[in-house]
Amino acid sequence: MTDNTQLRVAFETLGCKLNFSETSTYSRTLQGLGYQIVKPTQEADLYIINTCSVTEHSDKKCRNMIRRMSKKSPDAIIVVTGCYAQLKPSEILDIQGVNLVVGAQDKGKLVQMAHQLVLDRSKESKIISSCEIEDVNSFFSAYSSGERTRSFLKVQDGCDYHCAYCTVPLARGDSRNIPIAEIVKEAENIAADGIVEVVITGVNTGDFGKSTNESFLDLLKALNDVKGIERYRISSIEPNLLTPEIIDWISKGNKFLPHFHIPLQSGCDKILAKMRRRYNTEMFRSKIELIRAKIPDFFLGIDVIVGFPGESDEDFRTTYNFLESINPSFLHIFPYSRRANTPAAIMPDQVPEYIKNQRVAALSALSDKLHSDYCTSHKGKREYVLFESTQKDGKMFGYTRNYIRVERPYDPELIGKIVEVVV
Ligand code: SF4
């Protein structure tokens, strides 16, 4: 480590888009302090890992990252934050090389604390900052920027639902948000950076408004008026919160794109009830039928968990058949992961790993077919594509309004531009 202008920081981000938006915000602030951003595989003065705790696999990944960074730069300050940090701070602090574990309440102070440790060369420090469960109700505003032509804007945090398998409410606290006016200002900052597409992100995004007595639809309408932002996507919305009013408004052809990502988790009502989800398959189907009636070309991504405790072969078949009948464009498939301190962890009839793997494989094959059919059905249609900066084998890539990935010969002039193409 030399003087301040030459300090280097590297980031690793696990998990959801919310984490990516938070990491991006740390990155902007540290760049403002003169840090150079380097890759996590390079030597650095400071490493920041933003963790997830949805599966045991992501916990393990985080521990391996810490060991790798510690080996690469033994004198570097290592800071860990995010859901795993919130849930198991002592376990993380015990890992050799970790200096600071930051809980949700202090995310807004993370950069300041980390920077001080770097300046003080406090490699011997071992600090846990605000990881008590009752501390997790502050709001850390964040949006992603940088290389992406699209920005992830955090509008909501936390969740009050307490689904039987989920640790997120324990790690991120109650549902909360900042007022619409403040979010609009963030969107204006994004527009000022020249970014034209925004993905609205939260833990339970559609629950927006609880802490400010506003509504999610009011937020969408306010964001729609922000000059410079031309397209919006909603990262994910619970089926019970996707109201006919929201569907109707999106169908009117404003800046919100025909792209829905909706968690189903199971297509079997018995399992949905055990999961403590707030809808049944009938309600789910009615929402999809309403979207289909109003927005025929829409892209539908669905989350599914397989191997939840008590899911029999017949229950899984019910889920499979339900998904086939719904005809989504893509499936995000997760094998159930047993997480400490959740009701599902102590439920009887845990499903063996090999059966979960078989069910993942069956749904992956279904998803591949559905996705291919969806894309093929749009062949030859005119669409608007936002091209991104990634270059591979002389090609560049972008997404249509309804989330079909398009490639064309690389042309730097088109990065960040919305271009009409024939798919
Ligand atoms: S809605 Fe359920 S699965 Fe989603 S974050 Fe809340 S508790 Fe977890």
Is the distance from the beta carbon of residue 161 to the nearest atom of ligand 1 less than 6 Å?
yes
- pLDDT on residue 136: 61
53 confidence band (pLDDT: 50, 70, 90):
confident
pLDDT one-digit tens code per residue, 9-42 = 999 999 888 888 899 999 999 999 999 999 999 9
Torsion over CA of 240, 246, 251 and 256, rounded to 10 degrees?
Answer: -100
Q: Determine the distance separating the centroid of ligand 1 and the alpha carbon of 159, expressed in angstroms.
A: 6
Q: Determine the distance separating the centroid of ligand 1 and the alpha carbon of 276, expressed in angstroms.
A: 10
Q: Determine the distance separating the centroid of ligand 1 and the alpha carbon of 112, expressed in angstroms.
A: 31
147 confidence band (pLDDT: 50, 70, 90):
low
* Most informative mutation of 168, 272, 276 for ligand 1 (most atoms within 8 A of CB): 168
Of 128-132, 253-257, 330-334, 412-416, minimum mean pLDDT range:
128-132
Q: Does the pLDDT value for residue 2 go beyond 50?
A: no
| 1 Cβ neighbours under 8 A, 6+ residues apart | 7, 45, 75, 118, 121
φ and ψ at residue 179, rounded to 5 degrees: -65, 155
* Rounded CA separation 107/102 (Å): 7
- pLDDT on residue 132: 67
Is the distance from the beta carbon of residue 203 to the nearest atom of ligand 1 less than 6 Å?
yes
Q: 343: which DSSP letter?
A: G
* Most informative mutation of 136, 163, 272, 332 for ligand 1 (most atoms within 8 A of CB): 163
- pLDDT on residue 275: 98
- pLDDT on residue 8: 97
* Rounded CA separation 391/368 (Å): 25
Most confident of 138-147, 347-356, 386-395: 347-356
Q: What is the mean pLDDT of residues 78-87?
A: 91
325 CB-side CA count, 13 A:
13
Q: Does the pLDDT value for residue 150 go beyond 90?
A: no
Is the distance from the beta carbon of residue 204 to the nearest atom of ligand 1 less than 6 Å?
yes
| 167 Cα nearest atom in ligand 1 | 8
* Rounded CA separation 193/137 (Å): 29
Is the distance from the beta carbon of residue 166 to the nearest atom of ligand 1 less than 6 Å?
yes
Report the nearest-CA residue for atom 2 of ligand 1: 163
Tokens of 88: 């198991």
For the four alpha carbons of 168, 173, 177 and 182, in that order, the dihedral sign comes to negative
Q: Determine the distance separating the centroid of ligand 1 and the alpha carbon of 169, expressed in angstroms.
A: 7
Q: Determine the distance separating the centroid of ligand 1 and the alpha carbon of 361, expressed in angstroms.
A: 24
| 170 Cβ neighbours under 8 A, 6+ residues apart | 86, 87, 133, 341
Q: 52: which DSSP letter?
A: -
Look at the block and give the residue holding tokens 């980390």: 114
Question: Residue 216 region, left (φ>0) first, then alpha (ψ -120 to 50), else beta?
Answer: alpha
Tokens of 237: 């919305």
Q: Determine the distance separating the centroid of ligand 1 and the alpha carbon of 11, expressed in angstroms.
A: 26
| % of the chain beyond a pLDDT of 90 | 77
Is the distance from the beta carbon of residue 278 to the nearest atom of ligand 1 less than 6 Å?
no
Q: 350: which DSSP letter?
A: P
Report the nearest-CA residue for atom 4 of ligand 1: 204
pTM over 0.85: yes
Q: Does the pLDDT value for residue 407 go beyond 60?
A: yes
| 162 Cα nearest atom in ligand 1 | 7
Is the distance from the beta carbon of residue 162 to the nearest atom of ligand 1 less than 6 Å?
yes
Strands 395-400 and 382-392: antiparallel
- pLDDT on residue 135: 57
Q: Does the pLDDT value for residue 324 go beyond 50?
A: yes
Tokens of 37: 């951003």
pLDDT one-digit tens code per residue, 199-223 = 999 999 999 998 899 999 999 999 9
Greater confidence (126 vs 155) lies with 155
| 159 Cα nearest atom in ligand 1 | 6
Residue type, 310: G
Q: Determine the distance separating the centroid of ligand 1 and the alpha carbon of 283, expressed in angstroms.
A: 18
Q: Determine the distance separating the centroid of ligand 1 and the alpha carbon of 62, expressed in angstroms.
A: 22
* Rounded CA separation 156/204 (Å): 7
